[in-house]
Structure 1
Amino acid sequence: MNDHARLTPSPAGTFRQPLSFGAELQADGTTLFRLWAPSREVISVEIAGGAPVAMLPTGDGWFEARVPCGAGTRYRYRISPELAVPDPAARAQSGGVHGDSVVVDPTAYRWRLPAWKGRPWRETVLYELHAGLFGGYRGVAERLPQLADIGITAVELMPIAEFPGDRNWGYDGVLPYAPQSSYGTPDDLKALVDRAHELGLMIFLDVVYNHFGPDGNYISTYAEPFFNIDVMTPWGPSINFAERPVRDYFIDNALYWINEYRFDGLRFDAVHAIPDRGFLEELADRVRAGVEPDRHVHLVLENDDNVAGLLTGRFDAQWNDDGHHVLHTLLTGETEGYYADYAEEPAKALARVLTQGFVYQGQASAHRGGLPRGEPSDHLPPTAFVLFLQNHDQIGNRAFGEPLTALAREDALDAAQTLHLLAPQIPLLFMGEEVRSKAPFLFFTSHGEELAALVREGRRKEFASFAAFASEEGRSRIPDPNAVETFEASRPALARETPEAWRGRAELVAKLAGLRAAEIAPRLEGARALGADVLSEAAVCARWRLGDGTVLTIATNLGPDRIAFDPPAGARLLAASRDGAADASGLDGRTTLVWLGGDAA
């Protein structure tokens, strides 16, 4: 580990994570600038309104300069007579991804709740949202009390690293340390985290370490070894994690968000696109070692490869796309694209999700050209999987951004949501899901016109294999990602409606989240699956022994027809998705029943 990245004491009520790269304020009132630029021999730092200051080489491609300037100073690095670039580790940015970086004093913010230690993973009920659609960091903070009121325990922000323009999903970020300036200031973001903690909410951040966006990434112009041109990804050359400064750049970033901004957890985007598993293991180890020992900090993966070996201590959980895909297939009947892998015997696949985690644990995937996918996962606890009916990808990757709530019947959604929120897996809801919003979540950007045209055309080509978009006329109906109207149409109900109107439509989630907090979460430590029975082509009954020995039984029928079913003897009915559904033997169509206790057999 680079000595510059060691955690050092900060004044009471403040937090600072020293960084390998970037601008660090010094005790003597100067600022130390550091840049890894192994492809250049001469580098200077240009202070806005001042003369350039030569940066001295210190070995192994590093350059440094100590300058008498303080917080608020705007600067860039001059790497050639023709090109000055922003700091890749800027804590703030002025003028977008091509503008000036800004020196920030992390200790200027005094935390209102500096002693917050987080909450155990078993208590997590996640709510994923897009900060820009809520009006920025302050807008999100204003809505947090409503989420806490219905039983949400953790808010997860989609990526906020500085990206080109003002509107973006966040996965086009190019400055991973700079909070998106169109959403607010660094202190606004810290105030959002503080407010969450005051309400007893954890707050998570989605981070992207597998690629940079297509506009504003200058690193290759001065640090060619940062990328590996021999391994290409959909976004260009892969990131070269074999280089120590590259590894430290991203590991420092994870520690920065957790220690300096006090996020309670990180969701790591698409780590299947990171070829170096050793980097992921080191990342988790360094983060675990780099935070206070009494803090609850949670690390969650998105990993299409279903690598169960990463979930045995280093990472808390993985988003379970398999669970979503089979539930979506059962609820909608859709079988195009990746849903084709779940169309055959979906109830059997759902039973596997509920008791073993992944559907694909090494079997061949037809959608992936017959290649094997996944590792055995039946040894993992149910809390190693984040289960969801919707998320940003599964809605926004549809041509018209329709949420599941616009595609499935209300009674089927009731049944699925009851399963989702009371099963032992960790539940995640996407913004609007709590009130059954039918508003779309569309793919949106705010690129310059040249790149916007390429993105627009690429978006249309993406759906060319689907029957509805086989023709040019069909593809032309797909919303333009760069249009302001596309962004505005995606605003969630929580950001549009009065708290009273919104709360009146969130009663089911509030009820189920309350039951989960009272009856399920306290018993999750040590929970293990007992097994599952396939009851019909759309119905299963799964059982778990919870940590205190209590048996949890969930029977769910997502098909239209009533089926024969005997409820567990001696068990207490905890929840029914439909009134009166448990009054007689059998299991109604589009119904979920949940019991505690009784016989484990």
Structure 2
Amino acid sequence: MSFNLWAPTAGSVELLEVGQTPRQMMRDADGWYQLLSETARVGTRYQFRINGELIVPDPASFFQPDDVGEPSEVIETAALRDAIPYRGRPFAEAVIYELHVGAFSEEGTYAGVETKLPYLRDLGVTAIELMPLNDVPGRHNWGYDGVLLNAPNARYGRPEDLKRLLRAAHELDMMVYLDVVYNHFGPQLNYLHSYAEPFFNDRHTTGWGPAVNLEGNDGAFVRQFLIANALMWLHDYGFDGLRLDAVHALKDDSERHVLIDLAETVRAQLPGRQVHLMLENEANQAHLLERSHGRTMLYDAQWGDDFHNALHVLLTGEREGYYRAFADRPLAHLARSLTEGFAYQGEVFPLHDAPRGEASAHLPPEATIFFAQNHDQIGNRAFGERLSKLVGPDKLEQAMALVLLNPHIPLLFMGEEAAVETPFLFFADWSGEAADLTREGRRKEFAQFAAFATAEMRERIPDPCDERTFLASKLDWRAIDEAPTSIAFRTLTQRLLRLRREKIVPLIKRGFTAAKADLLGTSDASGGIDVRWRTAQGDVLQIVANFSDRGLSMPPLIEGETLWPQQSVKQDMLAPACIIVRLHSETNPL
């Protein structure tokens, strides 16, 4: 068995194979250290020793059974592959349910998620999205500060357990997506700087320090490593798609950006499968989402933060932090997001005082993923409050109906379907200096908010590195299953998802060719919207919603079927927190 380590700035490297004598590895001209072991096999555990002192895991390790600082285990990922892979489902059918494996179930494992798959299938979910699985130090972490990208976190189970979860989902015709992070590495037990300095690029910086190096000869290896990671999850484990975190922080001045290489490689190497690639991209780069004859060229969709931020301002009235960029014209921002995908398409973004975004009106609605809540938008709050703690039941129902019955791809965050009040806090099991910096950094984030203006106020913010913070974020399934309010809201969500499957998805598959929106009322900050989408066949979908605290004059409603609400409404006035969804179908007339 061959062992390889790219360590261009190391003077020497030894292989420490558990149970064997340390052996010196040979270096080639490109900085690769190599050794052929006749004793290693699947299950062998090993580490590397750098310069006779520093002992490190394999940065390409496929499994760390005893945490990231301990020996790596040889895993044969090819053995995980299905003889006949699941082909997936059209992206138009995607209803995404985001979850954190450790906090989703009582067990906090892949097996714990597996037990809930029938519940999600019956709810109407067609795809689950797992927050990052790449291994991180400690017992609990969001996963976005990964250290070993190829190694699924052992806290959730072994690689075989993860594969079993995917097979179980596929047997229920449910897709499984994975959140991956390529823009930075975590602060603790990340040893790459010690022996592979060119892995990072000091010419570019991000919010996490020097950027991952994607340029030049050294950057070519890093690009290959990241692309190989994407292919491993998709090919070996059988994930049906990836969501790439914060790609605006992938600093790459190469002639071909790494995002282009990654997408084209995935498309070329996985023919015959419905593989969906999604982005979080603050830059609103519509060119990455282009279609050709209705088919995705590179990336299927981007998370629609513009939609969320405008909606959140209208629902809660909050205007601090990043909501400030949407507080001037929240209705207009929401309407533009619904009809064109992005609210910012090259206009000056107030938070950066620079243009943001590209024209997106030509893209189909399914090129953006819309949500009222997700891990970031809840966890970025000091106390991790969900909408169920911030607004009343009428507004909560309005938000859910808007997210699930518009033609963009919907995403729910775990527990949202049942209006749970369980917080989702930021948590990480760092120790020492990393814990101190994380704790203080978290509190400094909120210094600009009036509610945390003093040090005493900020002291109330939960400590991310306290295990109680993680435990407080675990879903309370007893409440989901037994609380009357949760049962009622879950039933409402299920009805909405059935309507989406039966009425909205067929329209998405036909293809919307036009969209327009009118604002209702006299104030952009407290009025309503009247949005209509039209297919080439003449079908029209209309959503009318009132976000103000007073009644509004009812706009003209199209002739056709009322999808929501499922009871009669007055035809002269649009009540506060009301939402009406109408469908005129030329292809399936009443």
TM-score (normalised: structure 1)? 0.91
- Distance in 2 between residues matched to 1:563 and 1:529, nearest whole Å: 26
Helix, strand or coil at the partner of 1:349: helix
Q: How does 1:380-395 map to 2 (within 5 A)?
A: 380-395=363-378
- Distance in 2 between residues matched to 1:275 and 1:110, nearest whole Å: 33
Helix, strand or coil at the partner of 1:329: helix
Aligned to 1:559: 548
Helix, strand or coil at the partner of 2:25: strand
Tell me, which stretches of 5 or more residues in structure 2 are unaligned?
291-296
Question: Aligned letter for 1:89?
Answer: A
Question: Aligned letter for 1:571?
Answer: G
Distance 1:204 1:347, change over 3 A: same
Q: 1:294 aligns with which of 269, 272, 276?
A: 272
Aligned to 2:454: 471
Does residue 529 (structure 1) correspond to residue 504 (structure 2)? The answer is no
Q: 1:591 aligns with which of 572, 578, 581?
A: 578
Instruction: Say if 2:405 and 2:504, in contact at 8 Å, map to a contact too.
Output: yes
Question: Aligned letter for 1:593?
Answer: I
Tell me, which stretches of 5 or more residues in structure 1 are unaligned?
1-30
Instruction: Say if 2:133 and 2:153, in contact at 8 Å, map to a contact too.
Output: yes
Aligned to 1:278: 257
- Distance in 1 between residues matched to 2:42 and 2:377, nearest whole Å: 41
Distance 1:495 1:200, change over 3 A: farther
Aligned to 2:402: 419
Does residue 509 (structure 1) correspond to residue 493 (structure 2)? The answer is yes
Single out whichever of 228-237 and 256-265 deviates more from structure 2.
228-237
CA apart distance, 1:598: 6.7
CA apart distance, 1:585: 3.2
Q: 2:539 aligns with which of 538, 542, 550?
A: 550
Helix, strand or coil at the partner of 2:504: helix
Aligned to 1:359: 343
Helix, strand or coil at the partner of 1:506: helix
- Distance in 2 between residues matched to 1:433 and 1:450, nearest whole Å: 35
- Distance in 2 between residues matched to 1:120 and 1:565, nearest whole Å: 36
Aligned to 1:348: 332
CA apart distance, 1:40: 2.7
CA apart distance, 1:61: 2.0
Single out whichever of 294-303 and 31-40 deviates more from structure 2.
31-40
Single out whichever of 147-156 and 500-509 deviates more from structure 2.
500-509
CA apart distance, 1:110: 7.2
Q: Considering only aligned residues, what root-mean-square deviation do their CA atoms show, in Å?
A: 1.9
- Distance in 1 between residues matched to 2:330 and 2:208, nearest whole Å: 34
Question: Aligned letter for 1:191?
Answer: R
Instruction: Say if 1:146 and 1:499, in contact at 8 Å, map to a contact too.
Output: no
Residue by residue over 1:283-341, the C-alpha shift from the partner in whole angstroms, topping out at 9 and shown as x without a partner, is 111111111x2100000000011111111120000001100000000000000011111
Helix, strand or coil at the partner of 1:589: coil
- Distance in 2 between residues matched to 1:110 and 1:227, nearest whole Å: 32
Instruction: Say if 2:81 and 2:238, in contact at 8 Å, map to a contact too.
Output: no
Distance 1:417 1:59, change over 3 A: same
Aligned to 1:255: 231
Single out whichever of 47-56 and 543-552 deviates more from structure 2.
543-552
Aligned to 1:19: none
Instruction: Say if 1:205 and 1:265, in contact at 8 Å, map to a contact too.
Output: yes
Instruction: Say if 2:263 and 2:299, in contact at 8 Å, map to a contact too.
Output: yes
Question: Aligned letter for 2:223?
Answer: R
Residue by residue over 1:232-252, the C-alpha shift from the partner in whole angstroms, topping out at 9 and shown as x without a partner, is 222221111011110000000
- Distance in 2 between residues matched to 1:403 and 1:222, nearest whole Å: 43
- Distance in 2 between residues matched to 1:107 and 1:217, nearest whole Å: 27
Distance 1:96 1:598, change over 3 A: closer
Does residue 81 (structure 1) correspond to residue 60 (structure 2)? The answer is no
CA apart distance, 1:496: 6.4
Instruction: Say if 1:382 and 1:528, in contact at 8 Å, map to a contact too.
Output: no
Aligned to 1:8: none
Q: How does 1:41-190 map to 2 (within 5 A)?
A: 41-68=11-38, 69-109=40-80, 111=82, 114-133=84-103, 134=105, 135-190=108-163
TM-score (normalised: structure 2)? 0.92
Helix, strand or coil at the partner of 2:439: helix
Instruction: Say if 1:143 and 1:494, in contact at 8 Å, map to a contact too.
Output: no
- Distance in 2 between residues matched to 1:119 and 1:144, nearest whole Å: 17
Q: 1:398 aligns with which of 369, 378, 381?
A: 381
Aligned to 1:25: none
Instruction: Say if 1:267 and 1:301, in contact at 8 Å, map to a contact too.
Output: yes
Question: Aligned letter for 2:403?
Answer: H
Aligned to 2:562: 573
CA apart distance, 1:198: 1.0
CA apart distance, 1:399: 0.5
- Distance in 1 between residues matched to 2:432 and 2:213, nearest whole Å: 31
- Distance in 2 between residues matched to 1:51 and 1:290, nearest whole Å: 40
CA apart distance, 1:541: 0.9
Aligned to 1:266: 242
CA apart distance, 1:505: 4.1
Instruction: Say if 2:80 and 2:237, in contact at 8 Å, map to a contact too.
Output: no
CA apart distance, 1:560: 2.1
- Distance in 2 between residues matched to 1:175 and 1:450, nearest whole Å: 20
Residue by residue over 1:355-387, the C-alpha shift from the partner in whole angstroms, topping out at 9 and shown as x without a partner, is 01111111112222x211111111111100000
Instruction: Say if 1:573 and 1:594, in contact at 8 Å, map to a contact too.
Output: yes
Question: Aligned letter for 1:517?
Answer: R
Does residue 207 (structure 1) correspond to residue 180 (structure 2)? The answer is yes
Instruction: Say if 1:524 and 1:547, in contact at 8 Å, map to a contact too.
Output: no
Instruction: Say if 2:80 and 2:236, in contact at 8 Å, map to a contact too.
Output: no
Question: Aligned letter for 1:543?
Answer: R
Question: Aligned letter for 1:319?
Answer: W
Q: 1:192 aligns with which of 165, 188, 207?
A: 165
Aligned to 2:284: 306
Helix, strand or coil at the partner of 1:65: strand
